[in-house]
Structure 1
Amino acid sequence: MDRIIQHQYDQLAQHYDQRWQWYLDQTLSLLQDWARITPGDRVLDIGCGTGEFERRILQECPQQSMVGIDLSRQMIAIAQTKCNTYPQVSFQIARAEELPFADASFDRVVSSSAFHYFVNPIKALIEMGRVLCPGGEIIILDWCKNYIVCQIYDYVLKWTDPAYQQCYREAEFHEFFNQAHLTIKEAARQRPGWAWEFMIVRATGTGSGSFRQKFGI
């Protein structure tokens, strides 16, 4: 599955920002508002794509420390080019379910429009909780299957997109956080136009030590 996603997004990378400009503006603006990133935060962006979120944050705070991960080499290459003048920002290929970082490495873990590609969403959330510092926050935005149009997307993509897993109803989404022992502090749904409805969650963890005890990691 990783190779399928890599191949698909390697092909899309060159024209991705231009093709999805409106969508990126809507989703990343919403993620930025919810993330409430402060200059001292260490930020992990899961499914960073072409580094557009990093670029937006760096425009406001050029000293921000950020790490982006993605499965597409071409997406990562574009992200690195965008942010090559910021030594405190890095990108690497990695899976959400196997984050290559130490416990309690980040103050903010964010992800936009990637959750519906996760093969094991609960394991991905457990990993996010593991690398989150005490008092840190996880902010995830994804499509909301409560909305009929997103149900249509979900049906069609399962037949046409080999990399796609599924999107979820809000209650299912929230239950994943509960199973990963993450506490939801705030949640909402937002529909910027008829074509999409997004759900977004802000959650906290319980500290890396307790995560290791609960999940044997």
Structure 2
Amino acid sequence: MPNVENQALDHNQISVNTFNKLAQVYQDKYMDIPLYHASYDALCERISANDKVLDIACGPGNISRYLLERLPDIDLLGSDLAPNMVELARTNNPEGVFEVMDCRAIAQLGQQFDVIVCGFCLPYLDSDDTQLLIRTMAACLTDGGVLYLSTMEGDYAASGMQTSSSGDQAFIHYHDGDMLTEQLHVNGLNVVWTHRQDYPERGDVDLFLIAKKGA
């Protein structure tokens, strides 16, 4: 029997290690990608000055940067499990506060937020963790609060480990939009904006959802 130290890392940790290693590369590619601006604008329209915002799996702070440039008075807290991503987010957004934290542990913050941003976190969570995160985010939102959610849409059965040309790996989970919408509804969140965007480089579809608590 192999000992624990020799057992493979879980899928989530493999992905986190890759993002931590490639944080600068990720920033260079995604810090300002016009393809996603329409979804950010739709979110900005639903944020008020002085709102308390939580940016989950914030990466280098790309969405945070977009929000803070347009709404400088928001109170923004960002989190990511990759320390190098958090360092970049702090540098890119000195107006915000950024901490190393697993998205699955946000309930431990003991806070309520007017807005929660969850940009492309779900591709790295399985179905069970996704359902738990949606339930937790709903509980952490104020009444009338807004949730922004983006993910790669597709057949969950197609999920699997992907390896880049450099050998770096990440386990990608695809999620069905109808199932996510139903999970949001079950947890008191009603979808008020939906957008799908082809991503030619990957050959798949990105899904963007904005939902409101108690709408």
Which TM class, normalised by the smaller chain length?
0.7 to 0.9
For residues 135 and 178 of structure 1, do their structure 2 counterparts lie closer, same or farther at Cα, with a shift above 3 Å needed?
closer
1:122/1:179 contact within 8 Å kept:
no
Q: How many residues align?
A: 194
| Amino acid in the other structure paired with 2:151 | D
Shift of 1:65: 1.3
Does structure 2 conserve the Cα–Cα contact (< 8 Å) formed by 1:5 and 1:72? no
String of CA shifts for 1:146-205, please: whole Å, max 9, x gaps: 7xxxx9xx84x6133564241122222222223434322333323365744222222233
- What is the TM-score normalised by the length of structure 1? 0.77
1:75 is matched by which residue type in structure 2?
M
Question: CA 1:11/1:121 → structure 2, altered by over 3 Å: closer, same or farther?
Answer: same
Q: Structure 2 counterpart of 1:142, which letter?
A: T
Deviation of residue 95 (structure 1)? 2.1
- After the TM superposition, which residues 65-214 of structure 1 pair with which residues of structure 2 at under 5 Å, given as runs? 65-84=75-94, 86=95, 89-99=96-106, 100-103=108-111, 105-119=112-126, 120-145=129-154, 155=158, 158-160=160-162, 163-191=170-198, 195-206=203-214
Distance 1:64 1:182, change over 3 A: closer
Structure 1 runs not aligned, ≥5 long: 207-217
* TM-score, normalisation: structure 2: 0.78
Give the aligned partner of residue 15 of structure 1.
25
Q: Partner letter of residue 206 of structure 2?
A: F
Q: Which residue is equivalent to 1:48? A: 58
**Contact conserved, 1:5 with 1:71, CA < 8 A, in 2?**
no
State the secondary structure of the residue aligned to 1:63.
coil
Percent of matched pairs sharing the same residue: 20
Deviation digits for residues 57-105 of structure 1 (CA, Å, limit 9, x no counterpart): 2222333211111110000011111122x2xx111122222203225x2
Pairwise CA distance, 1:133: 0.5
Q: Give unpaired runs (5+ residues) of structure 2.
A: 1-9, 164-168
Match of 1:212 in 2: none
Residues 1:137 and 1:21: Cα distance change in structure 2 (over 3 Å): closer
Q: Conserved in 2, the CA contact under 8 Å of 1:96 and 1:118?
A: no
Structure 1 window deviating more from structure 2 (66-75 vs 196-205): it is 196-205
- Contact 2:161–2:171, Cα closer than 8 Å, also in 1: no
Bigger mean CA deviation after superposition, 55-64 or 114-123 = 55-64
Kindly state the Cα deviation for residue 140 of structure 1 after the two structures are TM-superposed: 0.6
Give the letter for the 1:145 counterpart: G
1:26 and 2:46 aligned: no
Contact 1:188/1:199, CA 8 A, preserved across alignment: yes
1:172 partner amino acid: M
Alignment partners' CA distance in 1, 2:122 and 2:161: 18
Residue identity opposite 2:180 in structure 1: F
Letter matched to residue 168 of structure 1? H
Q: Determine the C-alpha separation between the residues in 1 that align with 2:40 and 2:88.
A: 20
Task: Report the secondary structure of 1:160's partner residue.
Answer: strand
